[in-house]
Amino acid sequence: MAPQRFHEQFDHLQRALPDVPLAMGPDDSAEFIYEKGVVLARDGEEARTVEDAVRSHFTATEGLVPDHVRRAGPETNRSGITRIRVGDPGEGGRGADHTVAGALRALRETEGRAGRRLVSRNHLVSIAVNACPGDEPVPAPRSARPNPAAAPAARAAQGAEGTESSGAVGVLVIDTGLTHDYRSYPLLARTEGDAQVRETDEDGILQQYVGHGTFIAGLVAAVAPDTDVTVRGTLNDAGAILESEFGERLFDAVEDGWPDIISLSAGTSNGRVDGLLGVAAFMEELRDRGTLLVAAAGNNGSAAPFWPAAYASLPEYADAVLSVGALRGDGEFGACFSNHGPWVKVYAPGERLTSALTGFDSPVPYVYQHSTYEACRYGFSYSCTCRSPRHTGVLSEAQQVTPGKPDQVMFEGLASWSGTSFATPLVAGLVAAHMTAHGLTDPRAAARRLLATGSEFAEVRGAHVPALLPPTWQPAQVGPA
């Protein structure tokens, strides 16, 4: 873990969500972020059971006040979840919220007898993952080429029954919106979707995570140029959204129809092994559809399950979800920041990829938020993104007694960026390209076939793992720091 960066990013997210008091959990170890004073329950009878149990427990427990316990969310919605107020969110600091912990404790025995979860924290789902990105974007020279480079257009093969598959494969990217000048990048000619709500601050400085969805769309288009890409700006608020809202927004994203493939580079850990209550209804619907969810494993350098990607490890979702970790620049080993473990089903390049960001029409300035480290924060010895390329960030300097001046750069179109966020669209694009090339209409079957016939092997934390390497991706030499 990286406590310094986590605390810096926590403060940034709290400023971006001023009406949602946040806490870190499960304690000050900074494994995840959640809403203070609120828990989630399934609406209807279960919500009433939770509300009654919490009120009873708080009445009998010293230091807990039952007066605040009440329903705070809608009675019903598509995600099937309601918010229950259990404490005053204005009390206490950003450490673990004792009222939320008390509410979870109140249902422990009931959950044990029921054999399933009834109550949950309201986690913050973020594209930064544990609030710690793999790194921040770095401007690419105007002469730079995308990496992976654009693959040649594929001619659709005959379908399994001898008929050509109809229509292009569709990939839905659920992320931040598209930057205003994305159409200046030729590879995004087949990309549509939501515009980024606000790209720069009042000083014209690019805001953090703006361009994340555009960068991802560019990667899908590079490896699968025949694919129709749609971007939904679900995560435009500093790249984060509460779990209670996330399930509803996922349903919004597929309102016009379920795509072949969803590329999702967001999530959270929650200290559990049974998923997120707030997205359970969406995941159940996904399971019954033909859509394949390709989801980022996260940048915590941890083996703890990260959701929704970790649904790939649950038997009932194994066919519907493909979790993706990141390889370092040479494709031989895991990137230092990548989550890992048996719940991560495949790895792809995720360090210093090059794709579209913004600044095609005119340069756009960006001020770094986090300073690089003197040594890898996960203990690796190669020249990783923790420390290279070196820069000074405004959030890091704000913690210093005598703050230094943060570094500013200019983006002129392409950028280099790292994270499981970007390994994920490579896999989504490779599955889409495999469908197109072989005339397949079932993305889940295509993913199984691709992993069986097209994967190589890399080494991650001592284990040999499946790896998908795009044919047009150029590996980089990796040396010691």
Q: Which residues of the chain have pLDDT under 50?
A: 1-3, 129-130, 160-165
Would you give the DSSP letter of residue 353? E
Tell me, what's the pLDDT at 128?
A: 65
- Please state the length of the chain: 481
* Cβ neighbours around 179 below 10 Å, total: 26
Tell me, what's the pLDDT at 3?
A: 40
Q: Which two tokens stand for residue 6?
A: 């986590």
Nearest C-alpha neighbor of 285 from the set 318, 320, 314: 320
Q: Which amino acid is at 280?
A: A
3-state secondary structure of 416: strand
Q: Are 206 and 453 in contact (CB under 8 A)?
A: no
Q: How far apart are CA 103 and CA 69, in angstroms?
A: 10
Q: How far apart are CA 57 and CA 145, in angstroms?
A: 61
Tell me, what's the pLDDT at 335?
A: 96
